[in-house]
Amino acid sequence: MAVYLIRHGESEGNRKARVQGAADFELSAKGREQARLLGESMADLTLDHFYASDLTRARETAAGIEKYQKQKAVPSKDFREIYLGPLEGKTREKIYEMYPKVRQTTILRSGLEGTETDEEITVRCEKLYHLVKSIKEEETAAIVSHGGFLTIFLMYLLAGEDWDKLHRPFRIDNTGVSKISWKDGRLTIHYINQYHHLKY
């Protein structure tokens, strides 16, 4: 069993240095090229299961992979980026100006009213965990999602519901690929944030 966890390509929000959260942005021209190169790099894989966040930047990234697969990605709200409420669409500088206390926490887990709570994030991680665990040993799957959610999911794999006690140690770049698998009940993280397919 192999599961590929993939961050979307560069979005217009990334290009403009906007904090996106669950706000919907399409891919930039650079992001579309990244998605094309990603799809080419995965052409030799046969995906038995394919999922994507239902946000535009993830679906457009998945489309780059779909060109080489027999099936389309199944969209799901469960794989969206962390919901950041009043922070979405703003630059980091503007966020720190409007909400100085965020400097003492993190943008992903600010605790501000109207943002996704740790408990809500945990529920989504549990759903993805059970989905991944349901994949048969001989099958291959890919999930196109978002940097914040995927890094937290990797932390969840390591620490379960105590993920929130860890410092977030992972960075995932645009179209960065992480590969995980289970065999005989044991998790293996093969690599995190591989982007060799990008030619710049």
Q: Give residue 176's pLDDT.
A: 99
**Domain count within the chain:** 1
Q: Contact at 8 Å (CB) between 65 and 144?
A: yes
Q: What is the pLDDT along the chain (200 residues), one digit of tens a residue?
A: 999 999 999 999 999 999 999 999 999 999 999 999 999 999 999 999 999 999 999 999 999 999 999 999 999 999 999 999 999 999 999 999 999 999 988 999 999 999 999 999 999 999 999 999 999 999 999 999 999 999 999 999 999 999 999 888 889 999 999 999 998 889 999 999 999 999 76
Q: Give residue 79's pLDDT.
A: 98
Residues forming the active site: 8, 81
Q: How far from 91 is each of 14, 34, 66, CA to CA, in Å?
A: 10, 23, 32
94 domain-assigned: no
39 domain-assigned: yes
CB-based burial of residue 100 (10 Å sphere; 0-12 exposed, 13-18 middle, 19+ buried)? Answer: exposed
Q: Contact at 8 Å (CB) between 83 and 115?
A: yes
Q: Contact at 8 Å (CB) between 14 and 176?
A: no
CATH of the domain at 143: 3.40.50.1240
86 domain-assigned: no
56 domain-assigned: yes
Q: Please tell me the number of Cα atoms within 13 Å of 172 on its side-chain side.
A: 28
99 domain-assigned: no
138 domain-assigned: yes
124 domain-assigned: yes
Q: Give residue 200's pLDDT.
A: 60
96 domain-assigned: no
Q: Which residues are annotated as a binding site?
A: 7-14, 57
Domain limits for position 121: 2-13+27-81+117-194
Say how far apart CA 82 and CA 156 lie, in whole Å: 14
Query: Can you say whether the dihedral through the CA atoms of 55, 61, 67, 73 is positive or negative?
Result: negative
Q: Give residue 157's pLDDT.
A: 97
